[in-house]
Amino acid sequence: MKRFKARKIKKKRKKVLFFFFFFVLVFVYVLVFKYLKKNKLNKTLLYKDINYINLNILKIIDDASYKYINTPTMLLNKNVKNAKKIEIKNTKKTKDNSIKLENDIKNVNESITYNPVVYIYNTHQIEKYSDYNVMDAANYLSDLVNNSYQTYYEKESMSLYLDNYNLNYSNSYKASRYYINLALNKFSSIKYLFDIHRDSCNKELTTLSYNGKSYAKILFVIGTDNKNMNKNEVTAKKLNEILNKKMPNISRGLMYHGGKGYNGVYNQDVNENTFLIEVGSEGNTKDEVINTINILSESIIEYIKDNNDKL
């Protein structure tokens, strides 16, 4: 009887253990299945590489360190945060010095006044010489004249203006007029305007040899369709005379354009001291253009001085 009871108890224990292990297996299976599904791992990978079950700790650490080292923004952000902490910490120490520096800058700015008298620009900015371009020539002229009279050189893009308003190249004077108006509205002190171009004729016609040096000859263009034509003609002749006194025959004189096929105004309606100057042609060299700009700058300075003396 006792043996029978003992056997019965053993069977019950076996059943309990069986259900317990079965439950454990089901539980483990469910957990593994969920994990695999969540991480989108294939069972075959699981069998091939036990590291996937172990989350491949070494690989994760290696990837994380590589990402950190090779992502500059992470290091930068950390440095910025540290810098901000230092800045906040030192604010009280530098506050008085900062106020002093701001006041010094303000005083310097107030003591420097910028009232340009001369405005230099290029309606046709893409015009080039053999190894130079009209923008560089105009910029150089601006630097030289600025030594005597404050000068504003226009660097804004004419082509960009034309593109923005869907205008073709023939409308370039509308673009330069736009920037002229901006400059005049900003600086009422501007009295003299010089639009620097280069001609497209033969180099032999636009080159002067004098005392062993070559120069790009100058030509003044007068628009006959503008209200200031007569005044523009007078002022162009004055500047032309000064040029030829400094360098005989460096100027080709005045040329008149107007009517059908020509702009005829060339923004010379702004005032009588608006000049369109052709410096050399496409065949002239940088040295030839620079030699001429040196003479032109001296002539412009003398012209402005003569005008101011008469006022």
- Same-domain check for residues 153 and 290: yes
284 contact partners, CB below 8 Å, separation of at least 6 = 129, 130, 132, 198, 203, 206, 207, 216
Q: Are residues 165 and 57 in the same domain?
A: no
Q: In whole angstroms, give the CA distance from residue 233 to residue 277.
A: 13
Q: What is the pLDDT of residue 85?
A: 47
Q: Within a domain: residue 258?
A: yes
Tokens of 227: 């209200």
- Residue 226's domain spans which residues? 118-310
Q: And the tokens for 147?
A: 């030594």
pLDDT the model gives residue 32: 57
Do 63 and 202 belong together in one domain? Answer: no
Number of Cβ within a 10 Å radius of residue 140: 21
Residue 105, in any domain of the structure: no
Angle at 173 between CA 169 and CA 177, to 5 degrees: 140
271 shares a domain with 134: yes
Q: What is the CA radius of gyration of the chain?
A: 41
- Does residue 53 sit in the same domain as residue 155? no
Structure tokens at 153: 């050189």
39 and 162, same domain (yes or no): no
Same domain, 158 and 294: yes
Tell whether 295 and 228 lie within a shared domain: yes
* C-beta separation of 206 from 240 below 8 A: no
Supply the pLDDT for residue 308.
86
Q: Is residue 281 part of a domain?
A: yes
User: Looking at the structure, do residues 32 and 175 belong to the same domain, yes or no?
Assistant: no
Residue 102 lies in a domain: no
Task: With respect to residue 208, please indicate whether it lies within any of the assigned structural domains.
Answer: yes
pLDDT for residue 56: 46
Q: What is the pLDDT of residue 145?
A: 98
Task: Verify that 162 and 300 share a domain, yes or no.
Answer: yes
For residue 88, is it within any domain? no
Q: Is residue 254 part of a domain?
A: yes
The verdict on 149 and 286 lying in the same domain is yes
**Residue 277, strand partner residues:** 196, 220
List the pLDDT tens digit at each of the 311 positions of the chain.
Answer: 545 445 556 666 766 677 677 767 766 666 655 554 544 444 443 333 434 334 444 444 444 444 443 444 343 444 434 444 444 444 444 445 544 445 554 444 444 689 999 999 999 999 999 999 999 999 999 999 999 999 999 999 999 999 999 999 999 999 999 999 999 999 999 999 999 999 999 999 999 999 999 999 999 999 999 999 999 999 999 999 999 999 999 999 999 999 988 999 999 999 999 999 999 999 999 999 999 999 999 999 999 999 887 75
Of 34, 49, 69, the last residue of a domain is 69
Return the closest-CA partner of residue 279 out of 186, 194, 168, 154. 194
Q: Do 134 and 23 fall within a single domain?
A: no
Look-up: residue for tokens 């003044």?
Answer: 220
CA proximity to 252, closest of 303, 304, 198, 176? 198
Q: Which of 37, 52, 69 is the last residue of a domain?
A: 69
Crossing angle (nearest 10°) for helices 229-246 and 286-310: 120
CATH of the domain at 303: 3.40.630
Q: Could you say which of 34, 54, 69 is where a domain stops?
A: 69
Q: What angle do CA 256, 262, 268 make, to 5 degrees?
A: 60
Into how many domains does the chain fold? 2
Residue 244 lies in a domain: yes
- Whether the CB-CB separation of 198 and 130 falls below 8 Å is answered with no
